[in-house]
Structures are given as structure tokens and as C-alpha cells.
Amino acid sequence: MINLEWLRTFKTIYEKGSMTAAANTLFISQPGVSLHLSSLEDHVGHKLFERMPRKLLPTERGKLLYNAVVDPINRLQETEKNFQKSTREDTPALTIGMCFETFQETLEKHVPDLTFDLILEFGHYPELLQKMEKGIVDLVVTPQKVDAGNISYRPFSQENIILAAGRDVDVAEFRAEQDKGDPDALLHWLGRQKWYGITGDNEHLRRFWQRNFGGYPTFRPNYIVPNIHSIIHSLTAGPGLGVIPDFLCLDQIRRGDIRKLWEGYKPLTNTLYIARRKNALFPKQLDHIEELLTREMPPLKNA
């Protein structure tokens, strides 16, 4: 009989793309992850991943196995979460999905005062909303919406995507070209700068470029860092550029640690929604989370 831990480890490797990332997610050692995978491959008699530099690619057998086990494992993990013994008897447990930076800016400082258990899910918005549909996540902060009859969306905040510069960047040439109104000259200047990007999806950079220049950047960021807060910290320490949401760096802009260089020819603004399942459990606790988020995030301008 297959060990369920092998399958959970396999699923995590498949979704994260590497043994190191899977080990960090599961809070076990990398050799432990490797042992689980090799034991599972021995059991099924097939190689489940192709070992590539810095990543693992699933084989066709791996894809078939993942599709067969992903939903049952998700249901088992949700059952485990709902039935595991809490340190406080009969304490509600809420699972909240949002980006890591939003959590740090809003809820992190309030966690010690919560009267219920909280589980944070970080990931791409479609994935979080899909988990909400399946009952795994209770509330999601998202700029995206999916059509689902059992999910309600409330617009509550917005983020303005800006081009930010380190305070040591010489922007005189940029301002001069900006005054001339020549997009090609701006592109030439931008292409000569050092850029920061984040691991994974640089959606803000691509959308900003598409909206203002009608295409995608022709360069790859020079420095790939873990998250947007890492970009902000790097820009306060030295020269460079990054495309980021302004609400994450308002204090640094006020102090002059970084510069709000440009909003673009066509400013890019995302409406942020609080998504909840209709008839969700623990409505009072969810209302409290909503109240905290609304208090900590910039309000909608037309609200």
C-alpha cells in the first residue's frame, strides 16, 4: 500500500518544481523529500520526474499520477486541518489567502490579538480562488475575479502600480526625455538601467510595460529577489528601478528613501476585492478580518 506521506511529498514537488522548495513547504529535510520520492518511484515502478538543473520536470507518468491524487490529497489535508486538535478547544480556524506583502502590511501585526486560529495561504490568485471554491480557503484578497456562483466579491481598496527608483539614481535625463514626450527615448534610458524583479511572475512589470509601451520588456531584470518588499529594501540601499504597488512603499517615498519616478502615460490601478464564500462558516471572525483589512489598506478613491 502506498504511504500517504509519499503522495503528499510528490504533490508538493510537482507544484513547487524542486525538492528544495518542497522541503521548505513541508518543513522536512531535503534528504527526506528525496527518500519519499525515490520510495514512491520504486513502488509504482516508473520515473515520475526528469531531473533538470535547478528543477524537476514531471514525466507523463508523473502527470497522470498527479491528476489522479491532487483532489483526494487536498480533501484529506482540509479534513486534517478541520479535525486536528487545537491548543484552544472549540476555537474556529480560518484560512486566508493573499499575497505575502499584503499580509505583512495589514494582518501581521494583528495576529497576536486574534481570538481564533489563522492559517495563511500564499499563491497565485486563480489558485487561491480555486481553493476557495473547493472550501479550502475562507477569504481571499485579490485583484482578480472568477465566475463562481458561491463566491461574493466586495471591492474595498486599490493599488497603483508605479515605476520606483532608488534615491541614488540620476533621473535628470529621464525627466528631460519625459518632457520631450518621446517614448522611444524613454525606452532607451530605461533599458540602460539596473532592474529588480521577483522570483516567479513579474506581472506588474509586464502589465505596466504593455499599457505604456504597447509591448513587453526586451530585457530581463538584473536582480531577481524573493518578493516586492525585497525590491523596496534594495532600492533604499542603492540605485536601480522596479515596478511595484505604491501602497507597499508609501513610507519610504515620504522619507525620500526611494522615488516615485513615474505613474506611466496611462496609470495602472488595480481594484482589490475581498472574496468570500456565500454562507461561509464563522462569519463573525471573517467580518473581523475584513474590518482589519479595510482599516489597514488604502481606501477606494470613489468610496
Tens digit of pLDDT for each residue in 50-93?
A: 988 878 999 999 999 999 998 888 888 777 666 655 444 567 88
Mind giving me the DSSP string for 110-175?
GGGG-SSEEEEE-S-HHHHHHHHHTTS-SEEEES-----TTEEEEEEEEEEEEEEEETTS--HHHH
From 57, 83, 109, the end of a domain falls on 83
Pairing of strands 258-262, 55-58: unpaired
Q: Please tell me whether residues 39 and 183 are part of one structural domain.
A: no
Examine the domain organization and report whether 49 and 146 are in the same domain: no
Q: Is 78 helix (H, G, I), strand (E, B) or coil?
A: helix
Residues 151 and 98 in one domain: yes
39 is a domain residue = yes
CA distance 94 to 139: 8
Residue 130 has what pLDDT?
86
101 lies in the same domain as 124: yes
Same domain, 109 and 144: yes
Are 28 and 130 part of one and the same domain?
no
How do residues 164-199 score in pLDDT, each as one tens digit?
999 889 999 999 888 888 889 999 999 999 999 987
For residue 145, the model assigns a pLDDT of 87
Domain presence at residue 302: no
Q: What is the mean pLDDT of residues 106-129?
A: 89
How many CA atoms, within 13 angstroms, populate the side-chain half-sphere of residue 81?
19
Based on the domain organization, do 68 and 140 belong to the same domain?
A: no
| Judgement on whether residues 190 and 106 belong to the same structural domain of the protein | no
Contact call for residues 40 and 2 (beta carbons, < 8 A): yes
Instruction: Give the domain CATH number at 219.
Output: 3.40.190.10
**pLDDT at residue 262, as a whole number:** 94
Domain end position, chosen among 83, 102, 122: 83
Can you give the pLDDT at residue 139?
95
Is the entire prediction scored with pTM above 0.75?
Answer: no
- DSSP count for the chain of H helices, then E strands: 12, 11
Residues 183 and 104 in one domain: no
Tell whether 301 is covered by a domain.
no
Domain count, the chain: 3
The pLDDT tens digits of the residues spanning 223-235 come to 998 889 999 999 9
pLDDT score recorded for residue 82: 62
* Residue 238 domain boundaries: 159-269
Indicate if 190 and 241 belong to the same structural domain. yes
